[in-house]
Structure 1
């Protein structure tokens, strides 16, 4: 397995691995790499739905989703995102977010597999939430560290969320599902969210992934956020996404490996 860091300061491309045949040592390396880099890009994979679910289990127990139009009834672990409604969910996630942030225990890991790629459009943007916090002015860091945000469903999270494994703080905000900042007026909340949106998108801070057939991208949702870009139904694209439950995640255990 070869690892090459991406040039944006987070994320890494992994080569020389077939996730269908990953042994325990390879799984440990993948998990430790995800914990360090926040994002893994693994090209040239080939999955059936069963094989994708099995590969997801290298990182933990998958979440399940209700079956609706465009989904795979026999595979509730797979959430299909597509350019056409008959193929999956459309027009989703076109704002900075981390999957499952609406849960009281946020979804820690997302895993995408490119089943059908488009020739044009549909790229996904990623940004480093830990660097987003680290690059704030100290007085703004101090202010943000005291704030909490409320999702539209009432779930509350700190604006500065510490990673449950590493303890590194991250600027954690879902710009589409957050109702506001606790204690702030709607206008003040909107101004803060707009400022965070711009900060996530600052020059040099984002990685843009153009999907190729067989691409796998794995994201630590507590380290990076992502944003979908527009795609037209005139071109067909399908991404199969699986996610790991907070109570089932497998983080790399450096202490155990050192013992």
Structure 2
């Protein structure tokens, strides 16, 4: 198993492993890497729906989705994103967001498997929410630290969220589903959200993932946000997504004390 940090400053690629054969030591290494880098890109996998659900269990208990058009029959844990309606859900997430932010307890981890991928279109963009907060001017940080946002379904979250495992602050704003900032007028809320949207997209802050067949991408939704880009029905693409429940997440164990043995890579 070889881990290489991405040049953008967050995230890492992992090569030389088969998720179907991950043992306890490998699982712990994956959890530790996700906690450190926020995003894992694992190439060359071959996963059945059952394999994907089992691999998701490395990070915690999967969420279950209601039966609806586009879902994969017999696998309620898998939310299918596709370029064609007969294959899954289309035209979703084309704005900066973290999956499951509309929940009272936000979805901590998302896991995508590229089942069918065209050579053109449908890239996914990722940005580091912790670095986005760190790069704000101190007076803006102080303002944002006091604010909360309301989703369209009424769920309220702080605009600056502390990671439940590391305590690191991160901007946390779903650009598409947020109704407004509590205590701010509609115009003020709109202006703030537009400014955050631009900040997420600032130069050199985005990792662009071009999907290849067999790709797995795992994201810590409290560390990074993502954004879909357009893909037309003229080309066929299917991403199978599983997500981890907030009450079932498994973060990395505490680092061993000095001199204690570590799992071999």
TM-score range, shorter chain: over 0.9
TM-superposed CA distance for 1:45, in Å, is 0.1
Matched with 1:39 is 39
1:199-258: CA deviations, max 9, x gaps?
000000000000000000000000000000000000000000000000000000115x44
Instruction: Give distance in 1, aligned partners of 2:67 and 2:87.
Output: 13
Alignment of 1:68-217 (within 5 A): 68-217=68-217
Task: Calculate the TM-score normalised by the size of structure 2.
Answer: 0.96
Counterpart-to-counterpart distance in 1, 2:154 and 2:251: 28
Residue 4 of structure 1 is matched in structure 2 by 4
Distance (whole Å) between structure 1 residues aligned to residue 192 and residue 118 of structure 2? 35
Q: How does 1:44-55 map to 2 (within 5 A)?
A: 44-55=44-55
1:167 CA displacement? 0.2
Query: What is the rounded CA distance, in whole Å, between the counterparts of 2:251 and 2:187 in structure 1?
Result: 39
**CA apart distance, 1:72:** 1.2
Q: CA separation in 1, counterparts of 2:70 and 2:181?
A: 35
- TM normalised by structure 1 equals 0.98
Alignment RMSD (CA, Å): 0.8
Instruction: State the alpha-carbon separation in 1 of the partners of residues 155 and 73 from structure 2.
Output: 29
Distance 1:9 1:119 in 2: 26
Structure 1 ranges of 4+ moved more than 2 A: none
Equivalent-residue separation in structure 2 for 1:25 and 1:120 (angstroms) = 37
Distance 1:104 1:243 in 2: 15
Partner Cα separation in structure 1 for residue 68 and residue 82 of structure 2: 13
Equivalence for 1:219: 219
Separation of aligned partners in 2, 1:209 and 1:240: 16
> Does the residue aligned with 2:241 lie in a helix, a strand or coil?
strand
- Report what 1:25 is aligned to: 25
Deviation (angstroms), 1:73: 2.1
Question: Partners of 1:20 and 1:226 in 2: how far apart?
Answer: 26
Mapped partners of 2:212, 2:67: distance in 1: 26
